[in-house]
Chains A and B, each alone.
Chain A
Amino acid sequence: MTASFVAQSLLNGILIGGVYALVAVGLNLIFGVMRIINFAHGSLMMLGMFTTYWLVSLLQVDPYLSIFLVIPILFGVGVCFQQVVIHPIMRAPEHNQLLVTLGVSLFLDNLAVVLWSPDYRVMKTAYADINYYVGDVSVSLVRLLAFVLAVGCTASLYFLLKKTDLGKAIRAASEESEGAELTGINVKKVYLISFGIGSACAGVAGAAVAPFFPVYPYVGNLFTITAFVVIVLGGMGSFVGAFAGGVIIGVADSIGAMLLPAAMKSVISFSLFILILLFKPSGLFGGRIG
């Protein structure tokens, strides 16, 4: 347990935590606006990963430029998702909503299996071989870029919500949908856009990790659960919370991996999840969107 080992693990934890945060931020938006717990969020991220993978492998697009395509594609998928599946159950009991998103997740993951086989794929990109060294600690370029992307997206989303008219509409619709209707806000449209934005965030997260994560249909499951843990920890509806939560969970998993055997490394984050659910369900920063 040398200093550099601990430093390396913590650094990696923080970097991947940024990605968890980005995934959680999308989930958070959807929950904050529509009170829908989207079990299919990881599947959306998986779709983002595959989109990037195919763009890079078949068309030799730069993995980071591919994000400009991933965003509209996943936005579109999110809008369809909302329109076809979520809209009919907006008033249904909460557990039914969870079931529907679970169904979509099963469908999407296994559609990917049928289309692209369950095999693991590794995206080949020159970026993945670049490492910087601070003493004995290696900083992988692609992980660093993933973190930067995550921060960038989260910040953009925060800006969108706080400073733009659309953002105001979204916040209004989430706080008091009937009142918002009365003031002329097309709540249905807001919901569609929010789901689209949330999905696009998941897609960007997928594109961000594709250079250093194997791409396969079930990869989303890892992130869905983690995203739930993050937003429960950070407080559902809080942006700062989602980001902080992401980094905390990333670090917790790293510490877990240092101290516990391989398969147990998420025990720490799951236990945190349970404790927060029981004793402080509003999370660390819980509240409305913001």
Chain B
Amino acid sequence: MDKDNATKRRLGRALSTKIWLMLAVLLILLHALPFVFPEFVHLFIITLLYALMGQGWNILGGYAGQFSFGHALFFGIGAYTSSLLFVKLGVSPWLGIVAGIGVAVAIGLFIGFLSFRYGLTGPFFALIMLAFAEIFHMVSKSWDQVGAALGILIPLKGNSPSLMQFTEKEPFYFMLLWIVALVTYFTWRFEGTRTGLYWQAIRENQDAASALGVSPMRFKLVAMTFSAGLTAMGGTIYAQYLLYIDPDSTFGVINSVEIMLRPIIGGPGTALGPLLGSMVLTPLSEVTRIALRAYSGAYLMLYGAILVIVVIFLPDGLMGMVKNWVRRFSKRTE
């Protein structure tokens, strides 16, 4: 018993039943949110959506330490795959989402294999992801078969759950709430597993890790798989929510930035980081956009400033700050 507790404490992962109950209650309460604040449902949906994709980025970047500046690639692949399958072949987006994940993972593995094989790390890996995202961006803009610059307009089918279309917004909210809750939970559980620990080892010092027998290539590719898949999932949901996608709004560089900022600001390498980051950044961008209506690029200015401040002063993001408070608080109560 003592040894178990000691291990748990060492991994810093003890979560008493009390806290689990609290989280469960929180989850139930969150179901009421769209009814308490109906005007903000869109905001909640976007927050959750980017939290999901941010978690995707987080697995590769925050946990495994491979920062990607091109995650819009997977976002776009997810969005386009499911939309094309639906518009051209009538395939339901419920199947399309799986297909999107499949294509994204395949392409992610391809890029990952090439990059890791040829030893690309740090900024060079970040840039090569960006380059691939831009190539997809340019191709999708020029290729008629995928709508070229016009993109894809998903036909209105009214309320049609089997086709992932709803006249109300709430179903998207609940869908994303559960997906994000599950993904966050499993990410948290993953931290303590062998794979999770190896990711962190690779992140801290890849050479040392491989000297200890951890195969960086294999584990980085596993991280890439989850990363690409989760982000692509977000892409499909986005497409079904807006019923319109085009090259700029999916593959554009700004999306890579938005996806990346959530975990970086929230706390890279933490399960709650992307969610926390999204809860701060999404409302911020909406408020700024409405307040400075004419020049809504202004919210990006704030993003830039926040990014600089966080990276310099809070390298562990907001979660780092939270953990410090918790530590200080628990020290005081000891």
Question: Do A's and B's CB atoms come within 8 Å in the complex?
Answer: yes
> Contact residues of A with B, CB < 8 Å?
37, 85, 88-89, 92-100, 102-111, 113-114, 117-118, 217, 221, 225, 228, 232, 260-264, 266-267, 270-271, 273-274, 277-279, 281
Contact B295 A107 (CB under 8 A): no
Contact A93 B122 (CB under 8 A): yes
Which chain B residues border A93 with CB–CB below 8 Å?
122
Chain A at the B interface: mostly helix, strand, loop or mixed? helix
Contact B295 A221 (CB under 8 A): no
Top 8 A-B residue pairs of the complex, sorted by shortest distance between their CB atoms: A106-B304, A107-B304, A103-B307, A110-B301, A113-B297, A263-B141, A103-B308, A95-B67
Stretch at the interface among B29-37, B112-120, B318-326: B112-120
Which chain B residues border A262 with CB–CB below 8 Å?
142
> Contact residues of B with A, CB < 8 Å?
67, 69, 114-115, 118, 120, 122-124, 126-128, 130-132, 134-135, 138-139, 141-142, 149, 247, 253, 257, 264, 292, 294-295, 297-301, 303-308, 311-312, 315
Contact among B115, B131, B264, B301 for A273, CB-based, below 8 A: B131
Contact A105 B304 (CB under 8 A): yes
List the B residue with the shortest CB-CB distance to A263.
B141
CB distance from B199 to the nearest CB of A (A): 15
List the A residue with the shortest CB-CB distance to B114.
A278
Question: Number of contacts between A and B (CB, 8 Å)?
Answer: 129
Chain B at the A interface: mostly helix, strand, loop or mixed? helix
Q: In the bound complex, what is the Cα–Cα distance between A99 and B298 (angstroms)?
A: 19
Contact A110 B300 (CB under 8 A): yes
Asked, given contacts A95-B123, A114-B301, A277-B120, whether A89 binds B312 with beta carbons under 8 Å apart, the answer is yes
Q: In the bound complex, what is the Cα–Cα distance between A105 and B132 (angstroms)?
A: 21
Most buried by B among A85, A260, A274: A274
Which chain B residues border A270 with CB–CB below 8 Å?
131, 134-135, 138
Which chain A residues border B247 with CB–CB below 8 Å?
263
CB distance from A241 to the nearest CB of B (A): 17
Contact B118 A106 (CB under 8 A): no
Most buried by A among B114, B135, B294, B306: B135
Q: In the bound complex, what is the Cα–Cα distance between A279 and B117 (angstroms)?
A: 10
Q: In the bound complex, what is the Cα–Cα distance between A109 and B297 (angstroms)?
A: 9
Contact among B69, B124, B139, B312 for A277, CB-based, below 8 A: B124
List the B residue with the shortest CB-CB distance to A217.
B297
CB distance from B278 to the nearest CB of A (A): 17
